[in-house]
Structure 1
Amino acid sequence: MSRIGNAIVIGGGIGGPVAAMALQKAGIEATVYEAYEGSADGVGGALSIAPNGRTALAAIGAEERVAAAGSPMRGMVMQSWTGKRLAEFGTPPGLPEMLLVWRSDLYRALYGEAARRGVRVEHGRRLVSLSDEGGRVVAQFADGTSAAADVLIGADGIRSTVRRLIDPAAPEPRYAGLLGFGARTSGEGLTPTADKMHMVFGKRAFFGYQVTDTDSGWFANLPHPRPMSAAEARGIGAAEWLRRLQEVFRDDRTPAVEMIRRTAPEDLVITGGLEDIPSVPTWHRGRVVLLGDAAHATSPSSGQGASLAIESAVQLARCLRDLPVPDAFAAFEGLRRERVERIIRMAEKTNSDKAAGPVARVLRDLIMPVAMRLLASPEKFAWQFDHPIDWAAPVTAPRGVALPT
């Protein structure tokens, strides 16, 4: 039986609603407080839910609705800018297929499932301060309202207010040297990729695309010498970015230029600089804990950001179900830190390949075919994807922590 009764969840992105549903399953009442006034319908590009993310959703009975919002992605084909096929990666046998899902569709699915379960989500609540009063924590919002609960969970993203409040010295996001763009567009007349995502290490930038009969889209990672916020990048204008991207990919033997040409400016998703945080020293303090990108922000190149947030939400709920605060938070960090930081490091290497300069690109293109042949086996990536969560298994206290009798 849980030793706490209720929780405040700050952030209504991906980790927040999943955490609230997992806590509810653990017998803990949770309310989600989101800073934005409305939902995120129509916002954002595509992302993947890896097999481990689907496994975590299944542990709390939420996988079916999310699966219905996406489409199976049964493989990733790696190519060079010359069109040469470097490798193909598939899901290890016996695991759920990877899903390709548009962020707005994922939000809609998660919010719909949370609402069906009676989880309350309050919009327009921007956190400004919090106070840990020993037996409870109080959140103060910009609109003058407040909320109190046994614990507070900061699932408020890579620029987490909660992270800054519990540790003013916490590291800031690190720019990965790339700007992000993407769009849904028509695949009519293009060679279908079916259920496989093609990833191209272009001559000047990185391009990913999938062409199906029903839903086609692309994304690009453009090397850029200085970081740009999403607002700064959008200020340049979508039409100008589309022009620049067509120029960047003009030498690549891929459908990049044609797919970009078909994209209307109003459909272009501009995300600004790709970022990560290699390590967050303080994950929890008192009755407050961080979750998802607030604790372990990996760049989009990992393909694991959403899935790791989902995993962490489910594992945190298990810990709070079985252990008192702060032992639950220590157990949670013990379960998660090594795994997530390893994935962050792997994504950092991918970013450096994508952002390679002229000389590094030549070396990359020479070495990559051999490296891909060595890596192109499911066993190399199984540790990421094959990550079962036994919901029913009790969580024990970290070594050296004595539980109260």
Structure 2
Amino acid sequence: MNDNDGRGSGVRTALVIGGGVAGPVTALALHKAGITATVYEAYPAAADGVGAWLGLAPNGQAALATVGADAAVKAAGQPVPGVVMADGAGNHLAGFGGFPELPATLTLPRDRLFRALTDRAVAAGVRFAYGKRLVAAEETPDGVTAHFADQTSATADILIGADGIRSTVRTVIDPQAPDPEYGGVLSFGGYAAVGSAPGIEPGTMYFAFGRAFMGYWQGPDGRPIWFAGLPTDTPPSPADLARVPAAEWLSRLRDLYAGHVPGERLLQHTSPDALMVVGQMERMPSVPHWYRGRMVLVGDAVHAPSSSSGQGASLAIESAVELARCLRDLPTPGEAFAAYEAQRRPRVEAIGRNAAAVNKVKAGKEEAHASAFPTPEDMFRPLHFHRIDWAETVHAGRG
């Protein structure tokens, strides 16, 4: 069942490049709008076992409900409604129990989110093609043809770049498009031994700022899960990063977090095989061109806000749904893309700027002061209460 009643852009088929978070949701939303989408993923198979933990905020869950994927994702996640802001000496500065009228933020491994979204999309009839790395795209007045590294090609009415922060589609649309911006920190995560940090309340996420930042919460199996950063002015390449033994990374982190409460204890009780080397903390600066002709960007390919925002996946999901609404209601792809950008750019760029300010604190470029941060309620209200009205008609120039 779909909602397209013939009002829309005339788009009936779409190529979605990228099978992470934005890709499957975009395909589901397009399906709901009456547009048939195929997802093309560069990796040879689904990304099982890839990636660290992430948080999916209430606004992201609400957007998933629009395409019928909220229940599957909720079943894969752990609800964490509470937030405590602290300093590195163990002092709690502010607390927040969540909004009672909203679902709790979900934490889950990134690959479980991928799997839940992919399974939901496949169940809806979306086709996925793996081992399809995009190398070029050419546009005609009536469509777009994508060319892949395996010498195959595919054609549809439009092409959507959901291919992440190192998007190929972004450079096809604009060869001068900016690259991701490094935030000055290498990101790590891990599991500490059960009982290694007394005082962690189940269902509460802790953010401890100080000379070094650490976030942590109690996982479903009782082990504390933590994420932390190692400030580094010149980051190693991914290959160099992978060559450093996990025990050496742990040693560097333990030196940095000596005296941090409870970071020192958590790291002392984390074994090398429980360490996750996430890599460079990055964000996308403002991207001048979100679309060109029949090609458009969605998710991290155009507005990755960095992990400091806690909103990367949620914003990608919102944008996927809004793009489908615009294509459903406006008479041409160009008008649909323009309305989509006008609707999304102010929100995603404001969140990205706020995350960049937090990145400076994590990188040791600015000192953290309690007065510099809003209360958790003030911080989360404009993020978590954002809702998309699927039934509302989109008009040219706005969402």
Matches within 5 A, 1:104-123: 104-123=111-130
Shift of the 392–275 alpha-carbon distance from structure 1 to 2, 3 Å rule, reads same
Q: Report the Cα offset of residue 134 of structure 1.
A: 1.2
Q: Report the Cα offset of residue 81 of structure 1.
A: 0.8
Greater mean alpha carbon deviation, residues 182-191 or residues 282-291: 182-191
Q: 1:162 aligns with which of 169, 172, 192?
A: 169
Q: 1:193 aligns with which of 201, 218, 233?
A: 201
C-alpha distance in 2 between matches for 1:328 and 1:91: 35
Unaligned runs of 5+ in 1: 400-405
C-alpha distance in 2 between matches for 1:377 and 1:38: 39
Q: 2:255 aligns with which of 247, 268, 271?
A: 247
| CA displacement, residues 194-224 of structure 1 (integer Å, 9 cap, x when unaligned) | 0011111142x21111124625311111111
C-alpha distance in 1 between matches for 2:152 and 2:122: 23
Residue number in structure 2 paired with 1:376: 375
Residue number in structure 1 paired with 2:3: none
Secondary structure of 2:79's aligned partner: strand
Greater mean alpha carbon deviation, residues 377-386 or residues 69-78: 377-386
Amino acid at match of 1:389: I
| CA displacement, residues 212-270 of structure 1 (integer Å, 9 cap, x when unaligned) | 4625311111111113343322221211101111121121121x233333434333221
Residue number in structure 2 paired with 1:97: 104
Is 1:320 the equivalent of 2:342? no
C-alpha distance in 1 between matches for 2:149 and 2:101: 48
- Determine if contact 1:19/1:313 at 8 Å carries over to the other structure: yes
Matches within 5 A, 1:169-188: 169-188=176-195
| CA displacement, residues 79-138 of structure 1 (integer Å, 9 cap, x when unaligned) | 111111111244334222211111111111111111211211111100000001110000
- Determine if contact 1:137/1:151 at 8 Å carries over to the other structure: yes
Secondary structure of 1:326's aligned partner: helix
Amino acid at match of 1:381: F
C-alpha distance in 2 between matches for 1:377 and 1:171: 32
- Determine if contact 2:78/2:220 at 8 Å carries over to the other structure: no
- Determine if contact 1:230/1:271 at 8 Å carries over to the other structure: no
C-alpha distance in 1 between matches for 2:376 and 2:243: 43
Greater mean alpha carbon deviation, residues 141-150 or residues 208-217: 208-217
Q: 1:146 aligns with which of 136, 150, 153?
A: 153
Residue number in structure 1 paired with 2:264: 257
Amino acid at match of 2:371: V
Residue number in structure 2 paired with 1:388: 387
- Determine if contact 2:16/2:23 at 8 Å carries over to the other structure: yes
Residue number in structure 2 paired with 1:217: 225
- Determine if contact 1:229/1:272 at 8 Å carries over to the other structure: no
Shift of the 289–118 alpha-carbon distance from structure 1 to 2, 3 Å rule, reads same
Residue number in structure 1 paired with 2:215: 208
Q: 1:289 aligns with which of 296, 302, 305?
A: 296
Amino acid at match of 1:369: A
C-alpha distance in 1 between matches for 2:30 and 2:237: 34
Q: 1:42 aligns with which of 19, 42, 49?
A: 49
Residue number in structure 2 paired with 1:402: none
Q: 2:143 aligns with which of 108, 129, 136?
A: 136
Structure 2 length-normalised TM:
0.93
C-alpha distance in 2 between matches for 1:315 and 1:274: 27
Q: Report the Cα offset of residue 398 of structure 1.
A: 1.3
C-alpha distance in 2 between matches for 1:213 and 1:321: 40
Secondary structure of 1:209's aligned partner: strand
Q: Report the Cα offset of residue 4 of structure 1.
A: 1.0
C-alpha distance in 2 between matches for 1:37 and 1:261: 37
Is 1:87 the equivalent of 2:91? no
Alignment RMSD, CA only?
Answer: 1.6
Residue number in structure 2 paired with 1:56: 63
Q: 2:360 aligns with which of 352, 374, 386?
A: 352
C-alpha distance in 2 between matches for 1:258 and 1:207: 12
| CA displacement, residues 319-352 of structure 1 (integer Å, 9 cap, x when unaligned) | 1111121111001001100000000000011111
Q: Report the Cα offset of residue 370 of structure 1.
A: 3.1
- Determine if contact 2:291/2:297 at 8 Å carries over to the other structure: yes
Name the count of aligned residue pairs.
388
- Determine if contact 1:11/1:155 at 8 Å carries over to the other structure: yes
- Determine if contact 1:51/1:91 at 8 Å carries over to the other structure: no
C-alpha distance in 2 between matches for 1:166 and 1:369: 42
C-alpha distance in 2 between matches for 1:116 and 1:395: 28
Secondary structure of 2:323's aligned partner: helix
Secondary structure of 1:194's aligned partner: coil
| CA displacement, residues 288-341 of structure 1 (integer Å, 9 cap, x when unaligned) | 000001111111100000000000001111111111211110010011000000
C-alpha distance in 2 between matches for 1:379 and 1:298: 19
Amino acid at match of 2:301: A
Unaligned runs of 5+ in 2: 1-5
Greater mean alpha carbon deviation, residues 44-53 or residues 180-189: 180-189
Q: 1:332 aligns with which of 337, 340, 344?
A: 340
C-alpha distance in 1 between matches for 2:158 and 2:121: 20
- Determine if contact 2:59/2:385 at 8 Å carries over to the other structure: yes
- Determine if contact 1:174/1:277 at 8 Å carries over to the other structure: yes
Residue number in structure 2 paired with 1:26: 33
